[in-house]
Structure 1
């Protein structure tokens, strides 16, 4: 034991939570790369709300609320929407990476909710990534996904960043498809498949898989993805929970978890909060960092089940209230 709450490799022991400055050797941090924007939510009753959001930003926010050091590389403008996003992130202790505030304007997503609370999106967004190194050895993991991973010109820069980060960081990826912006599956499929091959962990919804590979069972696609590179592929099934696929040497294992019963207000940010909780759980289990890649690939079902149970708990809280509003650590503890 090198310090209280950490292993000799410098990662937190299972069951511990820490907050360390980004880059500190004891705890490290997660770098999240991708869009931050404002969701303009049109509800079925005719009301309209505005909430800061963006898939990667929601992941960073979830990590911050769970007490983890998270840094977000995004693009914000000098406008009211940008100020709202900055304040929202700061309240949850998320650090903005240098170069994140150089956009001409802050992007906007219009979300329309149906009677069940499910959201469809239309986007007014531009995306690029500030030149220069963003990743350093303090990053235990680098997460990207959704629009920021594929929309050009920033998507190409994100791909190169991910390739370079694999040397010392766990790579996590969530395709989080946005058909209205991404176009046809064949337009973005090659980029998504390349990121899947580079990733150690992929989180994907069954709906995304149905859109990306129509006509095939989502779990069959996920199994194929896992054989192609990632140590772990997690498929979320909405109210039916999630399935995690792991394997090494050609033998795959599947671990399932049910979603807790909850009243759904809307689904905005649900998958992103699941992703943030997935990173948090893997961090707690000491499975983040390139030096833990073999351990991640060999993770046993009991440990993985603990991680997934935390993910569905966090997502259930998020869908029970409006907007991307994941719980804080203390709130989860109070709920038991």
Structure 2
């Protein structure tokens, strides 16, 4: 008898980006790193639930409709009394942007949906209180039935003191099986340390697989079991923009690890904890492929499984 595929619960912010040009004209888009990951996973035919903090307002309804249209199930408890979060970007005549955030992150207690075998979190929602405490509760709750992945996606202007943020990030890594970060994240959190040093440290905290994305230089990754490190070049044939590239990589990586039986339940956690470089490479390659497609299109485009 075939086991049902594990459901993935993504926890994190979804917001509306409001971009205003020099003439005062504004355009609104749905944004948020975890929301992009949830959509990316759904586009790769993974069953996905999303826990976030939305207002009972038109912008909250727009976000819900956008996620639902892409196959993501937004938990009903995601709609609270606070307004929907926004990020305002004002463009000057040169195209440079200044940002102003209006963020609300009050999560209720999260009951893991039936069938949840993996939880992913990251970015602002993993560290901004009071909701971050609820995120940690969910990560601890899934440990006896599934696996965890994490993308710090550091935003220093929003998250606050980096020493405090670093401590919080490392606490989440200690609960995670997979951690993925960018070179920019490493420079903010561990200035002067190489990706190899940081990935080894994350392995000592508890991560079985650590990955660092390096833009046009591809990715480097490390398995804790053997201490082996590998790399993969970028798959981008052309770059239109890099919006959502890291989120697309994360979705591809999670999807690939699930397909390889290395995420999704306690036995998968054990397999990943003992995995070799060759065993995780197909998943890393899938992440490289998905992000390569994303940067070739405008905006946070999420490729389908067929496109791979």
The answer (yes or no) to whether the contact 1:119–1:267 under 8 Å persists in 2 is no
The answer (yes or no) to whether the contact 1:219–1:235 under 8 Å persists in 2 is no
Out of 152-161 and 105-114, give the one that drifted further: 105-114
- Distance verdict in 2 for CA 1:42–1:193, change over 3 Å: farther
The answer (yes or no) to whether the contact 1:119–1:266 under 8 Å persists in 2 is no
Q: Which residue of the partner structure matches residue 287 of structure 2?
A: 311
Please report the TM-score for the alignment, with normalisation by the length of structure 2.
Answer: 0.91
The answer (yes or no) to whether the contact 2:294–2:303 under 8 Å persists in 1 is yes
- Is 1:180 aligned to 2:157, yes or no? yes
1:180 deviation in Å?
1.1
The answer (yes or no) to whether the contact 2:149–2:177 under 8 Å persists in 1 is yes
1:297 deviation in Å?
1.7
Q: 2:44 aligns with which of 50, 59, 66?
A: 66
1:262 deviation in Å?
3.1
The answer (yes or no) to whether the contact 2:122–2:150 under 8 Å persists in 1 is yes
Q: 2:258 aligns with which of 283, 286, 300?
A: 283
| Deviation readout 1:95-125 (Å, 9 max, x if unpaired) | 01130112431111235799xx999854211
Distance in 2 of aligned mates of 1:64 and 1:212: 31
Out of 275-284 and 104-113, give the one that drifted further: 104-113
- Distance verdict in 2 for CA 1:279–1:329, change over 3 Å: same
Secondary structure at the counterpart of residue 84 of structure 2: coil
The answer (yes or no) to whether the contact 1:119–1:268 under 8 Å persists in 2 is no
Distance in 2 of aligned mates of 1:265 and 1:110: 22
1:242 deviation in Å?
0.8
Secondary structure at the counterpart of residue 220 of structure 2: strand
Q: Which residue of the partner structure matches residue 299 of structure 2?
A: 323
Q: 2:244 aligns with which of 263, 269, 282?
A: 269
1:252 deviation in Å?
0.3
- Distance verdict in 2 for CA 1:104–1:283, change over 3 Å: same
Distance in 1 of aligned mates of 2:279 and 2:96: 31
Please report the TM-score for the alignment, with normalisation by the length of structure 1.
Answer: 0.84
Secondary structure at the counterpart of residue 222 of structure 1: helix
Distance in 1 of aligned mates of 2:275 and 2:105: 36
Q: Which residue of the partner structure matches residue 206 of structure 1?
A: 183
1:79 deviation in Å?
2.4
1:64 deviation in Å?
0.7
1:215 deviation in Å?
2.4
Secondary structure at the counterpart of residue 83 of structure 2: coil
The answer (yes or no) to whether the contact 1:60–1:94 under 8 Å persists in 2 is yes
- Give structure 1 stretches of 5+ with no counterpart: 4-9, 11-25
The answer (yes or no) to whether the contact 2:82–2:104 under 8 Å persists in 1 is no
- Distance verdict in 2 for CA 1:45–1:171, change over 3 Å: farther
Distance in 1 of aligned mates of 2:23 and 2:299: 15
1:71 deviation in Å?
0.1
Q: Which residue of the partner structure matches residue 56 of structure 2?
A: 78
- Is 1:167 aligned to 2:167, yes or no? no
Aligned length: 305
The answer (yes or no) to whether the contact 2:222–2:277 under 8 Å persists in 1 is no
Distance in 2 of aligned mates of 1:31 and 1:119: 33
| Deviation readout 1:51-72 (Å, 9 max, x if unpaired) | 2121111111001111110000
Secondary structure at the counterpart of residue 187 of structure 1: helix
- Distance verdict in 2 for CA 1:122–1:180, change over 3 Å: farther
Distance in 2 of aligned mates of 1:121 and 1:266: 19
Q: Which residue of the partner structure matches residue 87 of structure 1?
A: 65
Distance in 2 of aligned mates of 1:265 and 1:119: 18
- Is 1:129 aligned to 2:107, yes or no? yes
Distance in 2 of aligned mates of 1:140 and 1:148: 20
The answer (yes or no) to whether the contact 1:118–1:266 under 8 Å persists in 2 is no
Q: Which residue of the partner structure matches residue 226 of structure 1?
A: 203
